[in-house]
Structure 1
Amino acid sequence: MAERGRRTVRDLRRGNRARVLQRLYFDGPLSRQELGPATGLSSGSISNVVGELAAEGLVEEAGVVESDGGRPRTLLRIAPAGGLFVGIDIGETRVRVELFDLSLEELARTDRLLAQHGYDVERIVGHVRTGVHDVLRDAGADPRSLLGIGIGVPGIIERDAAGAAGGPGAVVHGQTIGWSAVPFERLLREAVDVPPEVPFFIDNGAKTLGQAEMWFGGGRGAGAAAVALIGSGVGASVNRGDAFEEDLSNTALEWGHTTVQIRGRRCRCGSVGCLEAYAGAEAMRERWQEAGGPLPAEADDETALAALIDAARPAAGGTPDPVAAAILDETAECLGAALADLVNLFLPERVVLGGWAGLLLGPHLLPDIRRHVQEYALEHAVARTTIDLGHLGPDAVTVGAATLPLADFLASGGTRPAPAANAEAVRAADRVSANRGRDMVR
């Protein structure tokens, strides 16, 4: 009862707006009549909320449909021009920055290669700074239209609630890339030239991939899904619920550093026998080079993996390279055994394989991976699980990064970031509303 008593008129209004925005975002276009049962709101509330959102440029008309025996119904949809998001993938081989409109349609993108300089923090921050500048410039976009910047990074993320007030914010612990307690959010806030009220959302790249696949791709409609990110390194997330559920959860796992071989190969994390030391594209390149594979020493992970696959699975009439074929076979078994662990531990309805290397390997290895999962997983657990490739392509981490600020925007009922100069006035208004709510309860 005490928690309910703290809800104010502002909270109720924000909740109603959130319901309408979420339904239009994921199920639209919809008519006002369809929004009522979809949201549980009265027709009067729907009219009020739609009027507000349309006046703010967040919702627009999307045509008219005939109805049985009644007046034609006007369809409504999210207005793409209602705002902008930036999604950033701090990947293993490049920093990719993309600008999206409110419907997550890509407006501009840029890539910064990392092969030469690796994960120098200052250089990464510089890539993000220039990348954000470039996509805004290329799209002719006003930075004041930004609703948030989402970033997917390797490693474990810790958060300081004081981030927006000058504290470190999101701190990254990326052992495999040499980052130890890097105050990444603070560094970006100091460097990136956007209005100070624009929020930053930083999370693990496998988690952003998982959210993208759950919302728009191979996990959509599943109650629970495990989404694997296979690139130069390896990660995963476990996702439960959908975008309309308050108990939606999305948990990043350091799956690449689970053990698949006792006293096995040395992993770049410093341990031995990790999945990443066998199934990551960087490790696969190293294994082929160690075995004498015909690769230039300077070949990057993407070039090397494509060459390895071509050698192991040549075009019709070609002779497979036995060493390359053995590496792919071992990789498939390691992935199958590790995926079986996810199946046994989390009982997902679906397993989705993503990441640029996962999508490159998938067409060749998916049948073998499925077979090995069947061999290593519990029969009852695996019988209810499907295993497929992701639907969103190699840009899924960037799209997922953009969903971080998008999720916050939808949950807040389309509340735009308050200009820094007005932030205290907004907080004061919230305090007044809260006090009125308590007075009404009394």
Structure 2
Amino acid sequence: MDVRRTTVRDMRRSNRSVILTSIYRHGPLSRYELGRETSLSAASVSNLVGELLDEGVVEEAGSVESDGGRPRVLLRVAPTFGYVVGAEVGETRVRVELFDLAMNVVATVVSPIETPKPAPELAVRSVLQGLDEVIAGAGVAKERVLGLGVAVAGVVEGPADAVVHAQTLGWDGVPLGAMLAAGTEIPIQVDNGANTLGQAEMWFGAGRGATDAVVALVGSGVGAALVTGGTSYRGTRSSAGEWGHTTIMYGGRQCRCGALGCLEAYVGAEAVLERYREAGGPSAATDDEEAEFVALLAAVGTSEVAAKVVEDTIGYLGAGFANLVNLVNPERIVLGGWAGLLLGERYLPQLREAVGRHALRRPYAQVAIELCELGSDAVARGAATLPVLRLLREGGVTRKLTTS
């Protein structure tokens, strides 16, 4: 093996990655701005940008006036160089979306799930069927799809060849990556849904500009993405962020994971609705958990039972956020997930007050508590960033380029 040749090639790819990442995350940028952003020489920037332009990964996007010289040409990642797919395997539905590289939604398929604990085979079938449907619906050649990112609940050891441990779903060591890969030639990556939500919000939403943040997902279950120093913190084996399974009450309600007193047993949508029924609220009139949750919130003005359940839920969630404030000292906490958004849109001021009652004064004064900005498809969008991130790390080298 020629060690020198390998080293030069790796360095060149690394420099391409630095340039491409800067353009994608902070662009459009001129060559001059790229030099300042990356600390690469003008000659290196010019040569590498020329390669990326020739390959179609990057394109010109207008120009800006410079100080006394010719206008500077701006560069951006070409939106239609390739496409990426993100899938969210939720407890009530599977959402599959096709995006261009500017993260514009091109096609969407949403499939309901009839059981709250879908078998892995059912989840795989729904994702792969959705993958085929969005590609066909968009009229995109399958070879132009750079990858499929899949977001699931639980601990994900991966993301390539991912193995999933999701106690709340009854999944124990499920080789989800291999199961998905067996059904398609498109590269597969799998990650925890809270992590993909966090990546989407940090890249495109309410987390932009923050270096120490927590992005919380509150849906049927509860999780969080932890970002410290601008980098996702995942722990020894990628299970960091299981905030929903931190204990909020010793000997408390039984959580779906089997433990007692978990935060999820008090603020997860399934648990909130269960508390509502136990307190005298109506029995479920539908299998649609989201519709039932909306009905609970709508009843707050006319039902003391509903009002008390929601008030307690905000209190529990505030205490959970206060634990994050005291433990992590984030500059920003972003609340997302479908149930989190429904609560936050109505009760964000009360939630902030509840956090303040439980957190230490100084770190509480340093944190901003905001709502996710990307809406209901944020988890799937974040899953789609997994193949985008791989493209950036590889310096724009794709299956098409490596096999041609």
Q: Same fold (TM over 0.5)?
A: yes
Distance 1:250 1:104 in 2: 24
Letter of the 2:321 counterpart:
L
1:173 aligns with 2:175: no
RMSD: 2.0
- Say if 1:57 and 1:81, in contact at 8 Å, map to a contact too: no
Counterpart in 1 of 2:237?
A: none
Q: CA deviation at 1:83?
A: 0.9
Q: Distance in 2 between matches of 1:72 and 1:333?
A: 56
In the alignment, what sits opposite 1:339?
321
Correspondent of 2:180 among 173, 188, 209: 188
- C-alpha spacing 1:393/1:282, structure 2 compared with 1 (3 Å): same
Task: State the SS of the aligned residue for 2:80.
Answer: helix
> In the TM superposition, what whole-angstrom CA distance separates every residue of 1:325-367 from its partner, at most 9, and x where no partner exists?
0001111111111111111111111111001111111022222
1:240 to 1:5, Cα distance in 2 relative to 1, 3 A: farther
Deviation at 1:159, TM superposition (A): 3.5
Task: Map 1:93-112 to 2 at 5 A.
Answer: 93-112=92-111
Alignment partner, residue 439 of structure 1:
none
- SS of alignment partner, residue 80 of structure 1: coil
Distance 2:292 2:4 in 1: 61
Letter in 2 for 1:411: R
Give TM-score scaled by structure 2 length: 0.93
Name 1:373's counterpart in structure 2.
355
Shift of 1:130: 0.5
2:254 corresponding residue in structure 1: 266
Matches within 5 A, 1:44-123: 44-116=43-115, 118-123=117-122
- Does the 8 A contact of 1:232 with 1:280 survive in 2? yes
TM-fit CA distance, 1:116: 4.1
Cα 1:308–1:69, aligned 2, differ >3 Å: closer, same or farther? same
Structure 1 letter corresponding to 2:85? V
Structure 2 vs 1, CA of residues 128 and 419 (structure 1 numbering), >3 Å: closer, same or farther?
farther
- Shift of residue 73 of structure 1? 2.0
1:249 aligns with 2:232: yes
Describe the SS at the equivalent of 1:414. coil
The one-letter amino acid paired with 1:369 is L
Does the 8 Å contact 2:202/2:208 carry over to 1? yes
| SS, match of residue 23 in structure 2 | helix
> Conserved in 2, the CA contact under 8 Å of 1:83 and 1:146?
yes
Indicate whether 1:300 and 2:288 are aligned.
yes
* Residues 210 and 250 in structure 1, CA contact (< 8 A), matched pair in contact too: no
Q: Deviations over 1:185-240 (max 9, x none)?
A: 1111112x3x3xx3211111111111111111111111200111000111111112
Take 1:419 and 1:381, find their aligned partners in 2: how far apart are those partners?
A: 49
Is residue 289 of structure 1 aligned with residue 289 of structure 2? no
8 Å contact from structure 1 (residues 208, 401) kept in 2: yes
Offset of 1:395 from its aligned partner?
1.0
Report Cα offsets for 1:5-44 as digits up to 9, x if no partner. Answer: 8971111111221121111112211222222112112221
State the one-letter code of the partner of 2:246: T
After the TM superposition, which of the residue ranges 117-126 and 105-114 deviates more from structure 2? 117-126
Unaligned runs of 5+ in 1: 164-168, 243-247, 315-319, 427-442
Instruction: Verify the 8 A CA contact 1:211 1:239 in the aligned structure 2.
Output: no
What is aligned with 1:435?
none
Match of 1:230 in 2: 218
**Quick one: which of 321, 334, 349 aligns to 1:352?**
334
Task: Tell me which residue corresponds to 1:362.
Answer: 344
> Hey, which bits of structure 1, 4+ residues long, moved more than 6 A?
4-7
Partner Cα separation in structure 1 for residue 64 and residue 245 of structure 2: 53
CA distance in 2, matches of 1:182, 1:137: 29
Q: Kindly state the Cα deviation for residue 272 of structure 1 after the two structures are TM-superposed.
A: 1.8
Q: Residue 15 of structure 1 aligns to which amino acid in structure 2?
A: S
SS in structure 2 opposite 1:406?
Answer: helix
Q: Answer yes or no: is the 8 Å Cα contact 1:84–1:99 preserved in 2.
A: yes
Partner-residue secondary structure (3-state), 1:235: strand
**Aligned-residue offset at 1:117:** 6.7
Where 1:81 maps in the other structure, the secondary structure is: coil
Query: Could you give the per-residue CA deviations for residues 88-120 of structure 1, whole angstroms, max 9, x where no partner exists?
Result: 111121111011111111111101111347412
| Structure 2 residue runs without a partner (length 5+) | 235-239
Distance 1:402 1:279 in 2: 27
Give the length in aligned residue pairs.
Answer: 397
CA contact 1:257–1:275 (8 Å) conserved in 2 = yes
Q: CA deviation at 1:418?
A: 6.0
| Contact 1:225 1:238 (8 Å CA) reproduced | yes
Which residue identity lines up with residue 164 of structure 2 in the other structure? V
Distance in 2 (alpha carbons) for counterparts of 1:249 and 1:200:
20
Partner Cα separation in structure 1 for residue 371 and residue 350 of structure 2: 13
Is residue 2:389 matched to residue 1:407? Answer: yes
Q: Secondary structure at the match of 1:265?
A: coil
